[in-house]
Chains A and B, each alone.
Chain A
Amino acid sequence: MMMTAPLLAFELKKLWRSRRPWMALAAIAFFLVLMLLGFWLYADKQTGGEAEFRYTFENESYFNGLTFTVYGFWFGFALLLPVFVTLEAAASLAGERDSGGLRLLLVRPVTRTRLFAVKWGVTMLFALALAGALLGACLLVGLVCVGFGDLTLYPGVLQMTDVYQRLPQGEALRRFLLVWPCAALLLMAPSALAMCVAAFTRSAVHAAGVALAIYLVLHVVAAVPFFQDLRPFLFTSQIGAWRELLHEDIDWARLGGEVLRALSVTCLLLGVALWRFRTGEER
């Protein structure tokens, strides 16, 4: 039987050569440039006498590089990273089936379950690297362009908290370090969805399109306030659970519950995907 390590190395080499990681990194860089521009224009407007409101908590000390990191990572994580992880999962399974590469791979003495596990593992390594790259880039841009300070979170802003929170700079940076693996873990559900869809299709484009469409539908439905009874069953409502790690007092039970829900969906989708991949016939 073919060992896992050479198979993993082979899949990683394919990912490296596919240019998909570079496309993702370029998109992240473009996103951060636009975020910076947006914040600069906003700050310019607010301090240029055009503010329409009088009673405000915003002041010079409120916004700093750590606040920028929270904003950048939250928007990028919820809407950007799932796209790239989905594309990768769809390409690794349905793309290879489409190109005939999968058939060639299965000629080797490797079980389908092991091949599936390796492809899934590579997708998750990709997710971990992307989450790290986005978080690191946000922190770097925040430090260089804005400057660090304490992390202050006001109620309702980014829906992070409903009560004023303040983390000293050192503690905030330690919390961001925890955010990285937690966020990557929460990306498992969208990638499992893409693997599941890809297991049923022969075209990477179709697989990615359908998986992204389902993700966006769930994302929109989870955002509607009066669908709160539906929300626990939608993995898109758990995708921002890492934000709990930036609270002064972390509610570990709440965070654990959200992560377990996401893992439950992930295992369910992976189980279906594996069954289909294992029993489907390659032509």
Chain B
Amino acid sequence: MREARVEFVLFVVAALCALGARALARPEAAPSLGAPLADGMRIVVWNVGGTGAAARSAEGAALHADHVAAVADGLRGFDFDLACLVELQDAAQARALAQLIGADVRVLPSPGDRPLALLARRGRLSGTRALPRGGAKRPTMVARVRSDRLGRDVVVGALHASPWSATERNAHLGGLVDALARTADDAPRLALGDFNLEVQTEGRQDLFTDDAHLDLETYGYVTRALVDCGRAAGATATPDRRLDYVLASEALAVAKVVVVRGRRRGDMDHDPLVVDVRLARSR
């Protein structure tokens, strides 16, 4: 009977340890989006394409015409300053969306891929150009946006990286970072888009890539120059993957970052990533 007490004690300790672990792992409440900063800039990155399940396509699908209004509603609700929309149907769809929202728009045509668009509100886009491809097959857009709330020009690079090739992602993202670094003036810099790479600290990271180590090399190269604003925000795509990024130079400080759930329509597989930045205090 006395010996049975030892088992009882072990079970009690097991329960206490489990309760202790639960108490220590209290999850932080997800921040609510709220209103944008009066002296900041709200940035949205959203891959609005779908899995292609409806069209029985293995290559995914662009934003369906039926969902344009819902996406426009969502973007209006975010009250954004700069948005990067990935996997649109075509330039006409991007312009129609911009008209619904009342935004300035620039579209990056992408032969063999669905176009990407930059939309600006309370500011103007200028100096839009596509970067020379280099080793990447997909294009990169670089533009300058005048942000009224920030009171400054910001240089923005945007791209939709290859989901299939880590080598191509390396060339694509490395080229963008180098191009931003070569910008002549001291304007803050942003790199936006669906980069199709992820850095995991749990679970296997080799299940969705042809070269997990190369993706880490790429991420390491990119984050040596720019700050990954959405690092702590969680997954942006199915299944539990963080593929969409807002990267900022040190001239910008992250004020808030939220992955907004519940805005997908149809077979969409990404959630919008919303980031508020403001000018960092000079050191």
Contacts and interface: CB of A to CB of B under 8 A. Distances in A.
Interface of A: 52-58, 111-113, 154-157, 159-164, 222-228, 231-232, 237, 253-254, 256-258, 260-261, 263-268, 270-271, 274-275, 278
B214 A267 contact: no
Interface string B158-184: 000000000100110110011000000
A221 to B, nearest CB: 10
B78 interface: no
B54 interface: no
A156 B211 CA distance: 13
B173 to A, nearest CB: 7
A228 B202 contact: yes
Main secondary structure of the interface of B (DSSP, over half): helix
A253 B24 contact: yes
B66 to A, nearest CB: 28
A223 B24 contact: no
27 contacts: A53-B167, A53-B170, A53-B218, A55-B177, A55-B178, A56-B221, A57-B220, A57-B221, A57-B224, A58-B217, A154-B216, A155-B199, A155-B216, A155-B223, A156-B201, A156-B215, A156-B219, A224-B204, A225-B202, A254-B25, A260-B18, A263-B14, A264-B17, A268-B14, A271-B7, A271-B10, A278-B3
Interface string B8-25: 101101110110110011
Contacts of B51: none
| Closest 6 pairs (CB-CB, A-B) | A55-B174, A225-B203, A57-B220, A271-B10, A264-B17, A267-B14
Main secondary structure of the interface of A (DSSP, over half): helix
Interface of B: 3-4, 6-8, 10-11, 13-15, 17-18, 20-21, 24-25, 135, 167, 170-171, 173-174, 177-178, 199-205, 207, 214-224, 228, 231, 239-241
A161 to B, nearest CB: 7
B14 A156 contact: no
Name, among B4, B7, B174, B224, the residue most crowded by chain A CB atoms within 10 Å (CB to CB).
B7
Name, among B4, B14, B200, the residue most crowded by chain A CB atoms within 10 Å (CB to CB).
B14
B204 to A, nearest CB: 5
